[in-house]
Structure 1
Amino acid sequence: MRSRSTFMTIAAFVIALILSMVIAGGSATVIEKRTKSEVRLAMETQDHGWMQVQTDGLQVILNGTAPTEAERFRAVALADKYVDSSRVVDNTDVENTAALSPPPFSMQMLRNENGISLIGLVPASVDRKAIVESLKKVAGDGGVTDLLESADYPVPTGWDKAMKFGLSTLETLPRSKVSVQAGKVSVEAITDSATEQGRVETSLARRRPADLKLDYDISAPRPVITPFTLRFLIDADGPHFDACSADTDKARDQILAAARAAGAKGTLSCTVGMGVPSTDWAKAASMAITSLGQLGAGSVTFSDADIVLDVKPTVDQKTFDDVVGELESNLPAAFSLKATLEPSATAKAAEAQFSAIRDGKGSVTLKGRVLDARQRDAVESYARAQFGHDQVHGATRVDAALPAGWPVRTLAGLEALTMLHDGTLVVTAKQISVKGTTGDAQASDKIARLLTGQLGEDVQMDLQVKYDKRLDEKLALPDGKECVSRLNGSLAKAKINFDPGSAQVSEDSVKALDALAAAMKNCTDFRMEVDGYTDNQGRAEMNLQLSQARAQAVLHGLLDRGVLTGNLVAKGYGEDQPIATNDTEAGREQNRRIEFVLLDEKPVDNGLDDSALGTDTAEPQWNGSITDDGAAAPGDDGVPAAQEAQPDAASSETIPVETPQTDTPRPRNRPADLDKKG
């Protein structure tokens, strides 16, 4: 009985254990399914479909590959909201992605009277302390403010060169913003004058490394014009300005439109500046120019609000009265008009005059009449002070009967002559004539302003001032010798080679020909000879023909690259004038060459009207086809009719040849370094 009771007790315990295990297992299964379902649904709802959710008891196992680390983190964090983080097993990973690209490095440097500020993102390897220390020398009392950030990435290509150029540029510009990027520098600056603006722009262009992109915006304040001057003439050269001033771009356009309506042709310019005597300046100037156009001959001169209208005797009195009456009655109130009609005369007595001649080489000769010995000393002393003590030759005579104001007129004329590179000054009792060439595009304006300011608005002037861009110091154009040196220097750095026994430029010399074309910039105004030479291999006659063909090939190569070749002539000298021995291959290689020789140091007048450049110093743009006048030309197809086998450099190829030029070689301007080679 007792054993049965014990058995029943044990059985009850076993049954209870089994029942509890069944209940616990069922509960765990329910929890697993519910947890898996909740997490899975949350992942789908939040667009984490890549996530695979599994459960193992109370554990939630996450598998899958996330597109990004951020995506993976968000998905795991979402699972933590439904399951305690201790129960989450994270088996996820992230797709392999390319390395992050470096950020766009840039540095802005701002400089003004308050100092220098550095802003931007630079590579961590940049020595910011060294940059700050170097800029403190030019920053003055304002100091240097370093607001730069840095990032630990490799220095991009072109960054060091751009930063070096930017720092050196900032040192020369007191009011500027210089932006540096890899391979690029941008410069914004304000200068004190138009002359300084041109100097800065030229300096930037010259200093720029060949592989650095440069953008710049250099501005200058408008000049103060005093007196505010305008002078418009209709003479034998047609309607044109000697001087023109305007206070706004709109006023300038209005004045130039009136001049064109009066018959002025070509490129017209008018200086925009400050100091206008009246806001009605453009209206008054346009009215006066229109009136002179109706009269047909004479000049109108503005000096501030005073207007002088001089009309030639070819205009009849009635027309003069009608036009002048209309103008005088309708001019703005601020302006006063003085109009004169020159009387006709059958003959004029010889007038006393004073003249000065500037020859362009520094010498000035003074001739004509002066009032007395004191004025002679004053005139010569002033001229020596302006042109140099040893450059002035005086040859004047005293005439006590000269009209009043003669000393002032001569000194004003000499001051005007200082603005010319070469030219003449003639002073008479009625007129001052200034004629010549200058490198200042505004010289005519300045001379007219000077004479009217010192002698009055009714002074009679004859100004014939021509602007020559090669005399403009702001452009700093090379002379003939500099051009030849630059071209031969380009050939020394990158020699132009030809296919053996041929006048065909070799493929490896195309870049050398490109560099030569770039070196021709601003040099096409000079007459030069493109000379070809060979070694002494083969017959002399054949070498002469080959050298001529090769020189011609270089000339045509330049023409194909847009270079104006009208002032170039090709000539072959064969094996003459070797610069090295022909006994070795190295020496023969040196003797096979192209050289440039200057034929005339004076630039050729190419017919371009330099006055059209105005204050714009950019090179003129050419269009259309250009023929190489004076070059030794082959047939119409570019190949001479005669052909003969030509050996060169151990080659036996057949090449086209031309009839050789047989004139005797002349003394030649060869570079010094070539003469040393023998």
Structure 2
Amino acid sequence: MRLSSIAITLGTFAVAAGLCLVAAFFSVRLIEDSSVIGVRAELDREGLTWASVDANGLQLFVIGTAPNEAGRFKALSAAGRVVDTTRIIDEILVNDTSNAPPPRFSVEILRNDNGVQIIGLIPSATDRVRLIADITKLAGADAQVSDLLEIADYDNPEGWEAALRFSIAALRSLPRSKISVEADRVSVKAMTDSADARRRIEADLSRRVPEGLKLALDLSAPRPVISPFTTRFVITGNGARFDACSADTEETRRQILQAANAAGLQAKATCTIGLGVPTRRWGAAVEMGIKALAELGGESITFSNADVTLIARMGTAQADFDRVVGELDNALPDVFDLHAVLPKPPVETPEGPPEFTATLGPQGAIQLRGRLSSDISRTTIESYARARFGSEAVYTGARIDETLPGSWPVRVLAALEALSKLSNGSVTVTPETVSITGNTGNQNAGSEIASLLAEKLGEAEDFNIAVVYQEKLDASLGIPTPEECETQIVDIVGDRKITFEPGSATLDASAKDILDDLSELLQLCGDIPLEVQGHTDSQGRETMNQQLSQDRAQSVLDALRTRRVLTASYRARGYGEETPIADNGTEAGREANRRIEFHLIREETAPEPDGAGDTETEIDEGEEPPRDTVDEAPDANAEGTPDEQN
């Protein structure tokens, strides 16, 4: 009986112990699961997706590879907010970034009428606040600027700051654009207002691109309306060329240029793609005309809207002329009207062939010489020239010849109108042809002149065009004249000063912005004769002041040279204290007299006296330089000897 009771008691205790163990096991699992779930949720809320959690009893293991020590600390802190920190076992590794290469930093700036978006990854060393402020300033107060930049903890890569500054400058001129920026490359894709604006912006950006930075430009402009729609191809003994070329599509342009190359065109040529084509078969018609001209051996073919004029080379066999013209006339689309001419040798006269010549000088003066048909014609042509070129710029030396053809006045007026499209040059009118030569700042001048003469002279009239485009004459590029550069220097400097460390020729930090602004302008101005002048006040010895002013002028010249300004035609000149602009008896006056000025080097009006010295750096002692540009720094409050105060 007693043994039975003991067995029952032991069994009861065993069952109770088992139940306790089961309860404890499930309790621990419940605690483990709730802890893991809670810590995982907290880590997710903090964005620490790299971290994971595991549990073993009451111990909680935080596992993963943190990007840095700050990330590791953040993960442990998040776990400590859920469970007791004594239960947390740290098994986090920290990523070693000491040898990791920096990411590829890049920024994309999108600008349209609604505002600006800036997207990308920048180094932490970049002044993000200033970058956004600069973009906001150029976009305007009403524009919305969306800052979607990410930051990585790295220094700026080489060239990064220069690329950003250049991109902001480009954005200023392009209200509809996408600019992609990297440390060594900037890509610009934008829509401009016109073809002239596109060429001006392309030239400006190409000049300003920092050294070592690759620039990719993709600027587009609306297609111009071409009226009359003109193409003129010429083959002479000197080779083949286009005087004008118009196309309605890229495919048409390619078709025309391929035909021209097959006919002997060697030089690079372009066709303007525009609106106003008289037929979709324009390319095929021009191709036929060029082939026919090449088969005849040369001279010219002109397409002006639907009018086609073919002028064969003098001496072409009549049978060949008739055959080629007949084949071309039959092949051309019905919309075109062909007029073909085989020139006859000119009739010799005792006085020689009649001729009218107009010459346009670089300063705008025009001279009219040769023959005109009547007094009324001479008065009309002279009045037209005065209206076109200025009343004071016209000299007339033409005589009357009443035997001239009736179309002579029309030919002369058309020639003068064509001449007005040049910066300088000449035009010659004969009974057989109108020839124009000269220089222009308009890349499309040849095409415009060809269209004009084709329209004014009509069918069967021959003309020769030999005009040369010069970038320095192109007003659309915004290249200022030397005089305009001198004036703009004053405007850029304003009330600022180029400053130096007291008593020395070392530029101080505040001069950087002025010199950066000046270098942008002077790069645009190009190779102009400019003198950088240094001036001091009258404190100290005169010889010391002169040397200090010379050294300071040279420092400014050297600083411009390091900013890629072409300084071959510049010179530095120190004037010391000899040309004050204010009273040296007051501190304010002495401050004003310590300055740097920029002036054009102009030709001397009088011969240099014997023994006057180097003509490159000396001027007459009695001649006072102009003083309209004041931009040198005060050394006010400088301590030391009077010499040092300059």
Give the match for residue 115 of structure 2. Answer: 117
Is contact 2:241–2:267 with CA below 8 Å preserved after alignment? no
* Alignment map for 1:130-529 (pairs within 5 Å): 135-136=139-140, 144-145=143-144, 148=147, 172-173=173-174, 175-179=175-179, 187-205=188-206, 216-344=217-345, 347=348, 350-474=352-476
Distance 1:29 1:160, change over 3 A: same
Task: Provide the rounded CA distance (Å) in 1 between the counterparts of 2:93 and 2:106.
Answer: 24
Please report how far the alpha carbon of residue 431 of structure 1 lies from its aligned counterpart in structure 2 after TM superposition.
Answer: 1.6
Please report how far the alpha carbon of residue 473 of structure 1 lies from its aligned counterpart in structure 2 after TM superposition.
Answer: 3.8
Q: TM-score, normalised by structure 1?
A: 0.58
Task: Provide the rounded CA distance (Å) in 2 between the counterparts of 1:74 and 1:154.
Answer: 20
Is contact 1:307–1:337 with CA below 8 Å preserved after alignment? yes
The residue matched to 2:443 in structure 1 has which SS? coil
Please report how far the alpha carbon of residue 220 of structure 1 lies from its aligned counterpart in structure 2 after TM superposition.
Answer: 0.9
Give the match for residue 621 of structure 1. Answer: none
Task: Provide the rounded CA distance (Å) in 2 between the counterparts of 1:439 and 1:86.
Answer: 80
Distance 1:104 1:96, change over 3 A: farther
Task: Provide the rounded CA distance (Å) in 2 between the counterparts of 1:18 and 1:211.
Answer: 92
Task: Provide the rounded CA distance (Å) in 1 between the counterparts of 2:614 and 2:130.
Answer: 59
Please report how far the alpha carbon of residue 176 of structure 1 lies from its aligned counterpart in structure 2 after TM superposition.
Answer: 0.6
Distance 1:220 1:424, change over 3 A: same
Distance 1:110 1:391, change over 3 A: same
Distance 1:385 1:94, change over 3 A: farther
Task: Provide the rounded CA distance (Å) in 1 between the counterparts of 2:9 and 2:83.
Answer: 29
Distance 1:16 1:74, change over 3 A: farther
Please report how far the alpha carbon of residue 131 of structure 1 lies from its aligned counterpart in structure 2 after TM superposition.
Answer: 7.0
Give the match for residue 91 of structure 1. Answer: 88
Task: Provide the rounded CA distance (Å) in 2 between the counterparts of 1:281 and 1:343.
Answer: 30
Please report how far the alpha carbon of residue 170 of structure 1 lies from its aligned counterpart in structure 2 after TM superposition.
Answer: 5.1
Task: Provide the rounded CA distance (Å) in 2 between the counterparts of 1:29 and 1:72.
Answer: 37
Task: Provide the rounded CA distance (Å) in 2 between the counterparts of 1:305 and 1:380.
Answer: 34
Instruction: Give the one of 41, 55, 60 matched to 1:63.
Output: 60
Please report how far the alpha carbon of residue 277 of structure 1 lies from its aligned counterpart in structure 2 after TM superposition.
Answer: 1.1
Which moved further from structure 2: 245-254 or 444-453?
Answer: 245-254
Aligned: 1:53 with 2:18 = no
Is contact 2:439–2:467 with CA below 8 Å preserved after alignment? yes
Q: State the aligned residue count.
A: 508
The residue matched to 1:95 in structure 2 has which SS? strand
Please report how far the alpha carbon of residue 197 of structure 1 lies from its aligned counterpart in structure 2 after TM superposition.
Answer: 0.9
Distance 1:119 1:271, change over 3 A: closer
Task: Provide the rounded CA distance (Å) in 2 between the counterparts of 1:195 and 1:236.
Answer: 34
Task: Give a deviation string over 1:263-286, Cα, whole Å, max 9, x none.
Answer: 222323322222111112121111
The one-letter amino acid paired with 2:418 is A
Question: C-alpha root-mean-square deviation of aligned residues, in Å?
Answer: 6.3
Is contact 1:72–1:94 with CA below 8 Å preserved after alignment? no
Is contact 2:108–2:178 with CA below 8 Å preserved after alignment? no
Please report how far the alpha carbon of residue 127 of structure 1 lies from its aligned counterpart in structure 2 after TM superposition.
Answer: 10
Please report how far the alpha carbon of residue 429 of structure 1 lies from its aligned counterpart in structure 2 after TM superposition.
Answer: 2.9
Task: Provide the rounded CA distance (Å) in 1 between the counterparts of 2:130 and 2:20.
Answer: 62
Is contact 2:207–2:524 with CA below 8 Å preserved after alignment? no
Is contact 1:354–1:427 with CA below 8 Å preserved after alignment? yes
Task: Provide the rounded CA distance (Å) in 1 between the counterparts of 2:228 and 2:316.
Answer: 30
The residue matched to 2:284 in structure 1 has which SS? helix
The residue matched to 1:389 in structure 2 has which SS? coil
Task: Provide the rounded CA distance (Å) in 1 between the counterparts of 2:239 and 2:523.
Answer: 34
Task: Provide the rounded CA distance (Å) in 1 between the counterparts of 2:234 and 2:128.
Answer: 66
Work out which of the two has the higher radius of gyration on C-alpha atoms and give 1 or 2. 1
Is contact 2:109–2:119 with CA below 8 Å preserved after alignment? yes
Give the match for residue 29 of structure 1. Answer: 21
Please report how far the alpha carbon of residue 29 of structure 1 lies from its aligned counterpart in structure 2 after TM superposition.
Answer: 2.8
Please report how far the alpha carbon of residue 37 of structure 1 lies from its aligned counterpart in structure 2 after TM superposition.
Answer: 7.8
Give the match for residue 534 of structure 1. Answer: none
Aligned: 1:668 with 2:616 = yes
Please report how far the alpha carbon of residue 314 of structure 1 lies from its aligned counterpart in structure 2 after TM superposition.
Answer: 1.6
Distance 1:106 1:447, change over 3 A: closer
Please report how far the alpha carbon of residue 374 of structure 1 lies from its aligned counterpart in structure 2 after TM superposition.
Answer: 3.8
Distance 1:29 1:48, change over 3 A: farther
Please report how far the alpha carbon of residue 452 of structure 1 lies from its aligned counterpart in structure 2 after TM superposition.
Answer: 0.8
Is contact 1:227–1:304 with CA below 8 Å preserved after alignment? yes
The residue matched to 1:27 in structure 2 has which SS? helix
Task: Provide the rounded CA distance (Å) in 2 between the counterparts of 1:155 and 1:180.
Answer: 20
Distance 1:328 1:417, change over 3 A: same
The one-letter amino acid paired with 1:176 is R
Distance 1:190 1:259, change over 3 A: same
The one-letter amino acid paired with 1:27 is L
Q: TM-score, normalised by structure 2?
A: 0.60
Task: Provide the rounded CA distance (Å) in 2 between the counterparts of 1:273 and 1:393.
Answer: 39
Is contact 1:297–1:314 with CA below 8 Å preserved after alignment? no
The residue matched to 1:390 in structure 2 has which SS? coil
Is contact 2:116–2:139 with CA below 8 Å preserved after alignment? no
Please report how far the alpha carbon of residue 397 of structure 1 lies from its aligned counterpart in structure 2 after TM superposition.
Answer: 2.7
Give ranges in structure 2 of 5+ residues lacking alignment: 41-49, 121-126, 486-497, 499-519, 530-560, 562-567, 577-600, 604-612, 620-624, 627-646
Task: Give a deviation string over 1:538-572, Cα, whole Å, max 9, x none.
Answer: xxxxxxxxxxxxxxxxxxxx9xxxxxxxxx9xxxx
Task: Provide the rounded CA distance (Å) in 2 between the counterparts of 1:130 and 1:464.
Answer: 47
Is contact 1:106–1:182 with CA below 8 Å preserved after alignment? no
Give the match for residue 604 of structure 1. Answer: none
Task: Provide the rounded CA distance (Å) in 1 between the counterparts of 2:32 and 2:375.
Answer: 115
* Alignment map for 1:37-48 (pairs within 5 Å): none
The residue matched to 1:242 in structure 2 has which SS? strand
The one-letter amino acid paired with 2:241 is H
Please report how far the alpha carbon of residue 434 of structure 1 lies from its aligned counterpart in structure 2 after TM superposition.
Answer: 0.6
Task: Provide the rounded CA distance (Å) in 2 between the counterparts of 1:336 and 1:474.
Answer: 37
Distance 1:382 1:128, change over 3 A: same
Distance 1:298 1:149, change over 3 A: closer
The residue matched to 1:396 in structure 2 has which SS? strand
Distance 1:456 1:192, change over 3 A: farther
Is contact 1:124–1:152 with CA below 8 Å preserved after alignment? no
Distance 1:181 1:326, change over 3 A: closer
Please report how far the alpha carbon of residue 345 of structure 1 lies from its aligned counterpart in structure 2 after TM superposition.
Answer: 5.5
The one-letter amino acid paired with 2:219 is I
Is contact 1:383–1:392 with CA below 8 Å preserved after alignment? yes
Distance 1:147 1:364, change over 3 A: same
Which moved further from structure 2: 474-483 or 343-352?
Answer: 474-483
The one-letter amino acid paired with 2:357 is S
Task: Provide the rounded CA distance (Å) in 2 between the counterparts of 1:345 and 1:421.
Answer: 32
Is contact 1:124–1:153 with CA below 8 Å preserved after alignment? no
Please report how far the alpha carbon of residue 357 of structure 1 lies from its aligned counterpart in structure 2 after TM superposition.
Answer: 0.6
Is contact 1:187–1:217 with CA below 8 Å preserved after alignment? yes
